Amino acid sequence: MLIGIFNSKNVLLQFLLIAVVYISVFYFPINVLPNNGFNPLYGVLFNLIGNNQILARIVFVILVISPILLTQYFATLFGIIQRSHFHFLFFAPLLIFSNSMAWSITPVVVALLLLVVGIANLFQLNRVENPIALSSTALIFSISSLFYSLFIWNIFLIIIALIIFREFNLRELLMVIASFALPYVYVFSWYFIDDKIELMWNSFVESLFSFSINISFEGTYLQYVFVIFLAFFSLFIITSIILSLRNKLITIRAYLEFLIITFFFSILLLIFSGDNSSYHYFILQFLIAILYSIHLNEGKKNWIHESIVMLLVFNYMFNYYLMLNA
């Protein structure tokens, strides 16, 4: 079956399946959603794309493909996934495009690329005593929050990384806060010059503390069923990874612990996501794809895993059919 193909040495067949999925992803017109909340850099991107469908498709391809390819590269680089395993390249689009709303350029999609780069930077803390990695990560996460305001809370992920990957240092924490604040100093200085600082400050505060969840899947009950399935699926994967941690190298164990914390932290952000709730699932499904690929990397493959993969394929094809007939 499908997992069996990805366990074989037939790389050509594996990449043929991956190519079919990726080609199908970019068949439909791409929507560019307007800015919603305090996302100033996304507003600039939205105005840049305008109604240019060709430019929108090019930007969409870059924003979606880049984090998937980078994650595959970083996962093998840091030893989380074996170099011969390409499960993630196949599962990621199946999961993140499990509903039609994923075919849109949103603040979440832009911020995901920066999140992947930032996490890879944090993983370097396990290898080198380089404060530049911390400063650059804080800067990357800060810029990502200017595309998607909720990502401002990702500064806590840097603090968690400091605790997991090295001995906590107050000087480094202050350096992180200063680097994270720098882009906001520039942005609000511009708003001050443009006499919009009060208006934009209120928008900024409101976007961070609007404790609400607004989830809609266009009235498709199967989407809600799929979300429930993903919840139990995620619990199964995370439980399995946690139980296997004691058999891992200390370095790999630290990476996996951080990824699991990142997943639960992303779930927590749903509380603040408001109108972006439906699109925030893009992040969660991306992380689920990573965790499932790690789970399969451990060699635990049976009929249950084959059934799960076939369910993911069926759900993807069903949503694809709905879009064709919309």
Q: What is the pTM of this model?
A: 0.88
The residue with greater pLDDT, 217 or 105, is 105
pLDDT tens, residue by residue, 190-222: 988 888 888 888 888 877 766 666 555 555 667
More confident residue, 152 or 36: 152
User: pLDDT for 297-325, tens place per residue?
Assistant: 776 666 777 788 888 888 788 777 776 66
pLDDT at 260: 94
Give 141 or 281, the one with higher predicted confidence: 141
Domain count for the chain: 1
Domain range for 249: 2-324
The pLDDT score that the predictor gives to residue 214 is 59
How far is residue 254 from each of residues 127, 190, 243, 265, measured CA to CA in Å?
A: 12, 40, 14, 16
